[in-house]
A and B are shown apart, each in its own frame.
Chain A
Amino acid sequence: MWTFLHKLASPPYFYKLAASMIPWLAVAGLVLVGYGTVAGLFFAPPDYQQKDAFRIIYVHVPAAYLSMLGYVVMATAAGIGLIWRMKLAHAVAASAAPLGAWFTFLALITGAIWGRPMWGTWWEWGDPRLTSELILLFLYFGYMALRAAIDDTTKADRASAVLALVGAVNVPIIHFSVEWWSSLHQGPTLIRAGGPAIAGPMLWPLLAMIFGFSLLFAALLLGRVRTEVLIRERRARWVRKLVYPEETA
């Protein structure tokens, strides 16, 4: 286990391992998303109240889920990097931030599109989850802005890691704000006492979408980390070997 972790921390090893993992993750993710899209858009029964408009949950819920998971990944990686001074972890944190920000943006946009026919408004300030999702987007922006403002990579890594950890205190507040404030937003449907409150034919495509999105997220993240590792290790011998194979041969 420990040897594996040590090996994983080595950039060349990770670079190769990630390359072999990405196709699997991407294919599995695409299959699940494909099934979820078809089943969710064409075969799931319309909601008795929201009719077909509910179908946007097949994009909205996975995006919202990943917007938070992205932050957790970023903060965890940042924490590992800060505590054990593991360079690869910092590369993961740096790569996770733009992805997480994108999913946050997607969740906000799809939420607005859904809110227009359902609530009669694009944006509802009275809803805490909307507001916290927006705050989450700003947290991502702050993180990326701090990174961009510091030229020295090591310093940027460590400074932004502190910020990510401080911001992580806010993520639970975001999650539980649903229960703290009375709101327009639907209460939790999937994870709650007494089992999911959603019918099977609607549920399965949703779960497929959530897992499919997560796998695609993982594939994209690994791809980004590979690029990040290449940039950071651009002076290392193994990268030179990779780029100019004939030079060393």
Chain B
Amino acid sequence: MPGLLAGFAAVVRRDLHLAWRRPGDVLNPLFFFAIVSTLFPLAVGPDADQLALNGPGVLWVAALLAALLSLNSVFLNDHEDGTLDQLLLSPQPLPLLALAKSTAHWLVSGLPLVLVSPLVALSFQMPARATTVMMLTLALGTVSLSMLGAIGAGLTVGLNRGNALLSLLILPLAMPMLIFGARTVSLAAAGDAASAGIYFLGAYCVLALSLAPFATAAALRISNE
């Protein structure tokens, strides 16, 4: 039996391979993110001050929705081709494999978002210092979202009406992250101290990393009973 780390790495590597073979799955949420953040200036007007004011919130909402978009498919393909059954049967602890799936999801969807966000922030007149804070909060936030989202994806994997339901399950849980994330970026943009929000998001992230995989594992077992 391969060791724990080997099992973890194998799942992550497999998911990264799959993403590499189908780059559309990775790119679509990014385009979605860019388009949603384009919609806001078009809707509220091109006034630079107003955009600077709304920028952090818009970016966070767009990022949240974009990350959510890809959550539905975390376990879907694995469920359809039987990989999920193999994961459930494997001697490795299921929470560890769930953590690996979430990690791969973050690498494929969260990380690119974080990397692209400065470009969009630039168009919202965000100052450089706030942009760093934004990347940091987005990184912590998307990790938490990948972890939390995997629970929802696990719960809805067998149901054929996943997507809207998944949003209904996950978005309320994600709201504290959104509140702190967007507020912190706004504070940083106004030149205030941003550490409190970052600490909160960090704590939330640690909590999600340590607890969510167990809930995801339980959800997967229930969905595949």
Could you list which residues of chain A lie within 8 angstroms of chain B, going by C-beta atoms?
A: 82, 131, 135, 138-139, 141-142, 145-146, 149-150, 154-155, 158-159, 162-163, 165-167, 169-170, 173
Q: Mark B113-143, 1 if CB is under 8 A from A, else 0.
A: 0000000000000000000000000000000
Q: With contacts A141-B168, A159-B219 known, is A146 near B155, CB below 8 A?
A: yes
* Contact between B222 and A155, CB atoms less than 8 A apart: yes
For the side of the interface on B, what is the size category?
20 to 34
* Contact between A149 and B173, CB atoms less than 8 A apart: no
Could you list which residues of chain B lie within 8 angstroms of chain A, going by C-beta atoms?
A: 148, 151-152, 155-156, 159, 161, 165, 168-169, 171-173, 175-176, 179, 207, 211-212, 215, 218-219, 222-223, 225
* Contact between B168 and A170, CB atoms less than 8 A apart: no
Q: With contacts A145-B165, A159-B155, A169-B207 known, is A135 near B222, CB below 8 A?
A: no
Residues of A within 8 A of B219 (CB): 159, 162
> Which residue on chain B has the smallest CB distance to residue A152?
B225
Of the residues A146, A155, A165, contact of B215 by C-beta under 8 Å = A165
Residues of A within 8 A of B179 (CB): 131
Instruction: State in angstroms the CA–CA spacing of A166 and B176 once bound together.
Output: 14
Residues of A within 8 A of B159 (CB): 149-150
* Contact between B165 and A166, CB atoms less than 8 A apart: no
Instruction: State in angstroms the CA–CA spacing of A139 and B172 once bound together.
Output: 6
- Least CB distance from A172 to B in Å reads 11
Of the residues B172, B215, B225, contact of A138 by C-beta under 8 Å = B172
> Which residue on chain A has the smallest CB distance to residue B161?
A149
Residues of B within 8 A of A173 (CB): 176
Residues of A within 8 A of B225 (CB): 154-155, 158
* Contact between A149 and B165, CB atoms less than 8 A apart: yes
> Which residue on chain A has the smallest CB distance to residue B180?
A180
Q: With contacts A149-B161, A158-B222, A162-B151 known, is A170 near B215, CB below 8 A?
A: no
* Contact between B175 and A135, CB atoms less than 8 A apart: yes
